[in-house]
Amino acid sequence: MLSRTADSLFWLSRYSERADFVARILDATVRLASLPQSYAGESNEWESALAVAGDADLFRSLYSGANEDTVRDFLAFSPANPSSIRNCIEVARENARSVRTALTVEMWDDLNCAWLEIKKYDNSISREEFSRFLDWVKKVVLALDGSAYRTMLRNDAFWFTRLGSAIERADNTARILDVKYHLLLPATERVGGSLDYFQWTTILREVSALTAYHWVYRESVKPWLVADLLILNGQMPRSFANCYEILVRHLDLIADAYGRRGASQRIASGTLAKLKGTKISEIFEGGLHEFVTDFVADNNRLGSAIAEQYLS
Amino acid sequence: MVASCLRLERNLRLISKKATGEGLAEAAFDEMNGGPNGSAGVRSAYEGLHRWLGEQSPEFFNTRRSQAELFFRRVGITFAVYGDNETSERLIPFDIIPRVLTKPEWSFLERGLKQRVTALNAFLADIYGPQECIKAGIVPADLIYRNPYYRLEMKDQRVPHDIYVHIAGIDVVRVGPEEFYVLEDNARTPSGVSYMLENREVMMRLFPELFAHHRVAPVENYPDALLATLRSVVPASGNRDPVVALLTPGRYNSAFYEHSFLADKLGVELVEASDLFVQDDIVYMRTTQGPTRVDVIYRRIDDEYLDPLVFRPDSVLGLPGIMGAYKAGNVTLANAVGTGISDDKAVYTYMPEIVRFFTGEDPILQNVPTWRCREPAALSHVLANLSELVVKEVNGSGGYGMLVGPHATRRELDEFSRKLKHAPDNFIAQPTLALSTCPTFVASGVAPRHVDLRPFVLSGADEIRIVPGGLTRVALKEGSLVVNSSQGGGTKDTWVLDA
């Protein structure tokens, strides 16, 4: 396969995954913002959404303050924000257009229709319309992912789309943890309070894991268990552990098909081994923030290794 | 020279009687209703279609047309119009009423096309080789040497299997039941074949009952024929199982959809120059498994952008060193470098002589009678009759830089007069042909509109392949003769009836 084709498949998956992520963050934020102040806390939840899903410096160069209107515009529609939902869909579709031959008709149809459809939306829409818009974005990404699963040949083209979405997911989960780690401090620090409860459940909503949490832990929401779910639990689709299982599996398939292993296989399996050999208590002992920061650096290193080994 | 002018003038009168601008559609031959004004009754090839058209309500056509448009937009069949910022991706309008040719009509065209393309290839091998046709006085030497499309780099450079034009799009117009003319030879990178294929696809979806009642010759084997053609011209040093790639300028090119469509149907990589590199005069593509040698490149990039080391140094679309690999005989370019000269409109005027010289036969397909404004007698005739003629710039394409005399304003005529006097060599003129019309679905219902036909001729080392039909382009504006998509033309499915 052409390196450029692999590159486009990788990035179209990354960008569609990112569109889904930004939509989830906005959805959870709208919900948190609708709670009375005493439940939602003093902090500006729009500020926090911005920190998770966007580039705060870029935002400040474009708007005077973070509120519902400006953050909604920036994260969902702004052409100036490379990670706005609109841009993610446009970039994903541009990548798809340049590698039409590597996509199935169904995938192209999903992306092209989304691209045609999103032109109809801008920030003037009402709260209700906005929340329908977010649902629509999530459905587009589900459909695209479903089309990839159901229609693509199981060859390197498919594997590169899996790599793109897994590495992006890992990065997205890490972003949430990086911004909100202070809420997830261990039991000894401070427990309970309705304020924190809504913050924690917001985190779970952002990764669509609120129900999953109860099934896995069968108890009320505890911050260290939230961290455990997002980092180490292999059953949780967006956890670091699961993302790295996907990355290792598909990098191995590529290495077998091409008959050669390289830096990306080494980095990915190293990171997975580290995740598997760690307990959540050890992570808290070493510092959650430090752990997440190291993980983000490793994840970026893997991205560069994949680019160097296959995409250029 | 005098003799040729006289012959042309006689032809002009013949055609001008039919066509005097206004009312051209009434004067034109209608492919469904026969002679002008439907005087001859419905022609047999169209009987089934005519009956069917009469049975449908206008709403039926409207819904089918919007279904067709939806189909085209969803699969992303769009083209970009240069200089049009507002909508960078537009649809070419599609007309749902097919254009029908009979088997005998097609057989005649097919023989004529094969002869013409054989002559084109022989002509190119000659002007880049021994130049017998110049020595024999068939074409003037200065027309070749001073032509911007003559590539000196290709002189005495053999190309694999001596084939230059692997893919030709020959524009054919019709003015009567038996009268076909070649309007233009497109020998560089002719486009439109994806529309031929997709038009058929959408027609079969929308009107299965029509196909059940007509024996329409299929066109879907075009990609197979193209791949066979490209694989047949592998260079001697190439892989036994040749690697073919389609080279595109990229997704901002107006024909990008067609490039990706064809690469997909061919099952070959769609490459941009940045996917390729040249090492030791061999072209490689960058793949996820390392470099892979490429043997045949179907390139959809013009000569001047192909290699910044040889042609335009500012080209970012090109591949440095590709000409070196080409000249070393390690890669085949389809079409060859330097074919532009054979679709030059000045060279076109010599095609009858070229066909005779290289095939030893009389041309089966005639040229449109043409004045070469480079010849003083022709120029004065053209200036005196400008309002009745079509004047074309020798190096223009896509309907740009063209004057349709009967439809031009006084000011446009004066402006063209000045241009002609200033640089007569740059222009040719032709009578305003009463192009045949076909029933077309327009706002007011079904009405005749002028059409042309672009069949695609594939020349391989083994044989010449043509799928039956081609792309029919239709001028959607009432009375308009300009069918180019960049000028508001549309397309139709083209049927060759097998029986």
pLDDT tens track for A204-227? 888 888 888 988 888 888 888 899
Q: Which residues in chain A touch residue B243, judged by CB atoms under 8 angstroms apart?
A: none
Mean pLDDT of the A132-157 span: 96
Of A2, A160, A254, the CB nearest to B275: A2
Place of tokens 């880049």: B128
Among the partner-chain residues A98, A105, A116, the one whose CB lies closest to the CB of B251 is A98
Q: Comparing A61 with A32, which gets the higher pLDDT? A: A61
Q: Do B251 and A156 touch (CB under 8 A)?
A: no
Q: How confident is the model at residue B7 (pLDDT cuts 50, 70, 90)?
A: very low
Instruction: Return the residue of A nearest to B250 by Cα.
Output: A98
Question: CA B139, CA B349: separation in Å to the nearest integer?
Answer: 10
| pLDDT(B23) > 80 | no
Nearest to A89 by CA among A146, A31, A129, A139: A139
| Choice between B354 and B256, residue whose per-residue pLDDT is larger | B354
State the nearest Cα–Cα gap between A112 and chain B, in angstroms.
Answer: 7
Q: Cβ–Cβ of B286/A105 closer than 8 Å?
A: no
Query: How close, in Å, is residue A18 to chain B by CA atoms?
Result: 24
Mean pLDDT of A31-46: 71
Please give the C-alpha separations between residue A152 and each of A89, A309, B24, B48, B92, in angstroms, as whole numbers: 20, 23, 53, 42, 30
A251 near A268, Cβ under 8 Å? yes
Q: Tell me if ipTM is over 0.85.
A: no
**What pLDDT, on a 0 to 100 scale, did the predictor assign at position B20?**
41
**Residues B213-228, mean pLDDT to the nearest whole number:** 94
**pLDDT bracket for residue B91 (50, 70, 90):** confident
Q: Least CA distance to A2: which residue of chain B?
A: B287
What average pLDDT does the segment A269-285 reach?
Answer: 93
- Judge: B275–A3 Cβ closer than 8 Å, yes or no: yes
Instruction: Determine whether the interchain pair A116/B288 forms a contact, defined as Cβ–Cβ distance below 8 Å.
Output: no
To the nearest whole angstrom, how far is the Cα of A277 from the nearest Cα of chain B? Answer: 32
- Chain B CB contacts of A93 below 8 Å: none
**A99 interaction partners in chain B (CB closer than 8 Å):** 270
Separation between Cα atoms, residue B32 and residue B417, nearest integer Å:
38
The count of residues in chain A is 312
**Residues B168-215: pLDDT tens digits?**
999 999 999 989 999 999 999 999 999 999 999 999 988 999 999 899
What distance in Å separates residue A118's CA from the closest CA in chain B? Answer: 14
DSSP state of A309: I
Partner-chain contact A2 B73, CB within 8 Å: no
Instruction: Tell me if A2 and B250 make a contact (CB, 8 A cut-off).
Output: no
Q: How high does pLDDT run on average in chain B?
A: 87
Q: Is the model's pLDDT at B349 over the cut of 70?
A: yes
Q: Which of A137-141, B161-165, B175-179 shows the lowest mean pLDDT across its residues?
A: B175-179
pLDDT at A194 over 70: no
User: B161 CA to chain A: closest CA distance, Å?
Assistant: 29
DSSP type of residue B360: S
Instruction: Give the H/E segment covering residue A225.
Output: helix A223-231
For residue A1, the chain B residue with the least C-alpha distance is B287
Mean pLDDT value of segment B138-161: 92
Tokens encoding A35: 């709670």
Q: Tell me what the mean pLDDT of segment B273-285 comes to.
A: 96
- Among B96, B209, B106, smallest CA distance to B445 is for B96
* Per-residue pLDDT band at B48 (split at 50, 70, 90): very high
Residue with tokens 């049927």: B495
Any idea which residue has 């390289």 for tokens? Answer: A262
| Set of chain A residues whose Cβ sits within 8 Å of the Cβ of B258 | none
Residues B49, B214: Cα–Cα separation, whole Å: 9
Between chains, do A101 and B263 touch, taking CB under 8 Å as contact? yes
Looking at chain A, which residue has its C-alpha nearest residue B78? A97
Give chain B's length: 499
For residue B145, which amino acid is it? Y
- Bridge-based pairing of strands B389-393 and B402-404 is antiparallel
The per-residue pLDDT for B148 is: 86
Q: How far apart are CA B268 and CA B264, in angstroms?
A: 7
Q: Which of B256, B288, B292, B298 to mutate to test the interface with A (most CBs of A within 10 A)?
A: B288
Amino acid at B82: Y
Residues from A contacting B (CB-CB < 8 Å) are: 1-6, 94, 97-101, 105, 108-109, 112-113, 116, 156, 160, 254, 258, 260, 310-312
CA distance B427 to B412: 15
Q: Which of B100, B233, B119 is nearest to B168 (CA)?
A: B119
Predicted local confidence at residue B400, as pLDDT:
63
> Per the CB < 8 Å rule, is A112 touching B74?
yes
Residue numbers in B near A101 (CB within 8 A) = 260, 263-264, 269-270
d(CA A40, CA A43): 8
Asked if A108's CB is within 8 angstroms of B75's CB, the reply is yes
| pLDDT over 70 percentage in chain B | 89
Q: How far A69 CA sits from the closest chain B CA (Å)?
A: 28
Q: What is the per-residue pLDDT for B13?
A: 32
Stretch B255-262: mean pLDDT: 90
Residue of B76, B269, B285 lying closest to A108 (CB–CB): B76
Q: Which residues of A touch B73 (CB under 8 A)?
A: 116
User: Tell me, what DSSP letter sits at residue A129?
Assistant: H
Nearest to A3 among B76, B270, B286 (CB): B286
How much of chain A is in helix, strand and coil states, percent to nearest 5?
75, 0, 25
Picking from A2, A6, A260, the nearest residue to B271 by CB comes out as: A2
Whole-angstrom Cα distance, residue B447 to residue B30?
10
pLDDT digits (tens, 9 = 90+) for B432-462: 888 999 999 988 888 999 999 999 999 999 9
Binary contact (A105, B250; C-beta < 8 A): no
Which member of B74, B264, B285 has the closest CB to residue A109?
B74
User: B58: burial class by Cβ within 10 Å (0-12, 13-18, 19+)?
Assistant: exposed
